[in-house]
Amino acid sequence: MDAKQLRDELAGTRKKLEEEKAAILARSAPLHGKRAKLLEKIQPLEAELRKINAEIKSIEQPAIVEVGNQIAAIARAQGATTLKARG
């Protein structure tokens, strides 16, 4: 096979593959449209969810950690008191 025949064969193979690719994309195109519509609905909800999560975190984080520390300190003190009472 000479260089021209090889180029022609490769060009033919490439054309078939490009047609196959186009057919695959045509089959999936409706699903891409459905996905885009769902994303339009979901994205505003995700933004609202992020905002609410940030608000929850701003309320809980500093206070929950401090309360947890206080509870742990009381538990340690109660454990020490219980041990003294038994000892």
pLDDT over 60 at 67, yes or no: yes
pLDDT digit string, tens, across residues 17-57: 999 999 999 999 999 999 999 999 999 999 999 999 999 99
The three-class DSSP label of residue 47 is helix
pTM of the shown model: 0.51
CA distances from 62 to 22, 28, 30, 53, 75 (A): 55, 48, 48, 15, 20
| In the chain, % of residues over pLDDT 70 | 91
